[in-house]
Amino acid sequence: MGLFEMDDPGPLQAPALVVAFDGWVNAGSAGTAAAAHLAGDGTTIGRFDADALFDYRASRPTLEFIDGVLAGVEYPEVSLRHTSLPRAGTGSRDVLVLSGIEPNWNWQTLGSAVADCAVELGVVEHVSLGGIPWATPHTHPTTIIETASRADLLSPGADRPEGVLRAPGSAVSVVEAFVAARGIPTRGYWARVPHYVGAVYVASVVALVERASTHLGVGVDYASLLDAADEQRRRLDEILEERPEAKAMVEQLEQIAASAEGSVSGEALAAEIERFLQQRDRDNPWNGGES
């Protein structure tokens, strides 16, 4: 095979491409879990060559043994799924979801191949999803940073990076750059995820699904996610009552968040967060506990 093999999905209605990878900029599994929820039980129409994308020493295949006998090898993968979601008004809209483990190799080749595929399938817009570890408490609503390929695509009043931002690159953004270069408008939604939550942070998944589905104008049932988010919040609150040091840490985060809503300068807030994170690195009371 080439870099990927793709089945013909047939005629598509205003197809949108949603992309998320497990790796950097996927804190709390926010992006990949949201992408999986949007894809639902959609059909896999694209399969990428794992040998061309992964260093198996970094992203190791999973071996399955049954009674001591090697029964199979599961390789890391990137796949493209197709689903049709109901529009808010009438009819439906096709959504293509590209997701998987962030590749180790050939990001530019992957980006170019995905852009070619997007043009061939008539994709009219692209949405990147992810999560960023942040000094934010789980007791506050999840907020989302928005980016786009053009300034006029940003939502009015969007929470977006101000000025010049230079950050470590991710495969999801490299793919987005190649798609944008083909003239397809792109947007990115990045949930702020409490840095102390090590597992899937369901509240961030809810926020991304809600934002993406609203933007795409499609209906998505996420009642089960809301229930899971409530249960996770309850467990986290229980931990606060059992661990005074964890409670103190969250209270400090709440104070930082409250300051951000007031008149404190950005420089002062940044300095406060930096001091907090330095202290967290020295002594994190959560120690990777329940999340």
Mind listing the pLDDT tens digit for each residue in 228-264?
999 999 999 998 888 888 888 888 888 877 766 543 3
Structure tokens of 227?
């229930």
Q: Is the pLDDT confidence value at 200 over 50?
A: yes
- Domains delineated in the chain: 4-222 (3.40.50.10900), 229-282 (no CATH)
Residue 45: phi and psi, rounded to 5, are -115, -10
Q: Work out the average pLDDT over 153-162.
A: 85
CB-based contacts of 208, cutoff 8 Å, min separation 6: 30, 31, 34, 129, 131, 144, 189, 191
